[in-house]
Amino acid sequence: MTTDPASLTKAAAKAEISLLSASVRKANAAYHTDDAPEISDAEYDALKARLLALEEAHPDLAKPDSPTRAVGGAPAEGFSKVRHRVPMLSLSNAFSDEDVAEFADRIRRFLSLGDDETLDIVAEPKIDGVSLALRYESGRLVEAATRGDGAEGENVTANALTIADVPETLSGNVPEVFEVRGEVYVMNDAFAALNADQEARGEKVYANPRNFAAGSLRQLDASITAARPLRFFAYAWGDVAALPADRQSAVIESFHSWGLPTNPLTKACRSSADLLSHYRSILDQRATLGYDIDGVVYKVDRLDWQERLGFRSNNPRWAIAHKFPAETATTLLEGIDIQVGRTGALSPVARLHPVTVGGVVVSNATLHNEDYIEGVDSNGAAIRTGGRLMIGDTVQIYRAGDVIPKVLDVDTTKPRGTEAFVFPEICPECGSAALREPGEAVRRCTNGLSCPAQAIEHLKHFVSRGALDIEGLGTKQIEAFHGDGLISEPADIFTLRSRQESGDIDLFRRDAKGRPTNQKSVDNLFDAIDERRAPDLARFIFSLGIRHVGDTTARMFARHYLTWADFAGAMGNASDDPEARDQVISIDGVGEIMADAVIAFFADAQNHAALERLIAHVSPVDAEAPATDGSPVAGKTVVFTGTLE
């Protein structure tokens, strides 16, 4: 292998590239998948260096799936979007043995199974990582995408190719199209070593392995991802041309035979007792696994039963996540702050003496509302033994997969705090009255979008991933633009380019000679904004931040009204027409509270004016009507009597 690559004939170079590619892939599999390296690091590096030299000398012979591509390439300008052909849904949760038994009983009832019929359920560790979808065509990886909002994710193909556990090609009898889904994670020892190195160099220390994995997967420079110790487990699938088996467990076995890493603790169980036994076995091993898990996932094994069970709005009926008990710690309650949210809600946040809970350093926790601080529920009944929270109390906090931990109780064996927190009756951000309506647990600022805190949170929501998802307009950018007076409402975002070009504003940072230093980033931001001038109707409705309207509700309204004009017109008519209001309430899934919230939003003069300004720059794309051609019940009213099992 000492021959100058440039002097080789095409045929000789092609033969050597093919041989080296196979050798490097085999070494990758032995080292990362089988944990049984067959060659030394020096030999591996020499093989890869030779392959790279050959590809540089003969670029027309370099294949897209070459193992040299796993090193990463030049930084990308940004991530394109990938529409999931099969939505990536979340799972419902179980927290007790009773929840698990009810899950199994519910499935039996749904499928009308007799007591003598076996219900096989697969149990697998719930990896605390980042979801990733890998699309293989003819056995070759052609696309990798993050989960995103479940319907649309980010194209991270270049980054996924740098993960050693992710095969570039699958071996064996793989269907023509097969989308593998799994979890990207980081081993705890690798994470600890990386953090120790970061600290020694005086650089940023990462909060936890999951966040580190998420950030690593979404690097614009794939070479940065390549340098991170990311791993991958495959456990599910999305869009496929065919399935290799008729059971969940058998499909996972096929994954392993194709060269995909699967979790060895995955097991098919035949009863609720078996599930709980395996759950406790995994819980006992949790500390020694070397990677973070936060529960065990149960899935019905038979795929025809999965199909019959189907889905709810955002999770499958045939699967559930049995979460591990919450992790707790004790610390000092040093203060309570009030944050004002998008809907004007005044939310109390506990400021804690920093403490580690489940490997994460925690310095704040949610306190929900003023009743929670008082230690009572909405009916005045006590919710904890320690009673009212006092600043200076020693409190027990817990987290069970939550981003923000919660205060569980007061440690009454320690000296109690002496300072009582008085919940404000005026908004701390704008000074307006903060009222608590009868029957409400939350106190809200009455100043609407004139309250700067509400305006900022509204803007953050408008550009967030589930809403318009404008690349480059994150939390810090929104706060900076709002603070500088550049944007005060969503419509202002779409005039940034024209105001920059006319000289009304200047978004450029300049060097000592007055030359712009961020021209490219500003241009990218303007392009990202322009890409969102024609959003999906459902995303646009969700982006408005109407109280009680989540992404599922927004999709429901979009499917019902199909166009923005019809939706806005119906809501406007309903404000002074009882019959029109009743028509809104009659929509399946819409109750009086939700309907009144949406109608009130459109009836508000300030909101109406802001919408008019926004619609001048945005044209929501009509939703597609349901495909009912050929349906024998299309246009008919079907009446059911009696009971449905």
* b/e 408-418 (16+ beta carbons within 10 angstroms → b): bbbbeeeeebe
List active site positions: 126
Q: Which of 337, 341, 338 is nearest to 352 (CA)?
A: 337
Instruction: Report the greatest alpha carbon distance in the chain.
Output: 86
- The residue among 462, 460, 328, 340 whose CA lies nearest residue 406 is 328
Burial class of residue 68 (count of CB atoms within 10 Å of its CB; 0-12, 13-18, 19+): buried
**CA–CA separation, 111 vs 105, rounded Å?**
10
DSSP assignment of 71-92, as one string? G--SPPS-PPEEE-SS------
- 604-607: long-range pairs with CB below 8 Å, 24+: 604/448, 606/448, 606/449, 606/450, 607/448, 607/449
Helices (H) and strands (E) in the chain, counts: 22, 20
314: left (phi over 0), alpha (psi -120 to 50) or beta: alpha
CA–CA distance, 620 with 207 (Å, rounded to integer): 39
How many Å apart are CA 432 and CA 470, to the nearest integer? Answer: 31
Distance of CA 52 to the CA centre of its chain: 36
Question: What tokens were used for 372?
Answer: 């929670």
- Which of 365, 330, 545, 311 lies closest to 449, judged by CA? 545
Structure tokens at 347: 């939310």
Report DSSP state, residue 131. Answer: E
CB 470 within 8 A of CB 532: yes
d(CA 407, CA 50): 58
- The tokens for 298 are 């149960």
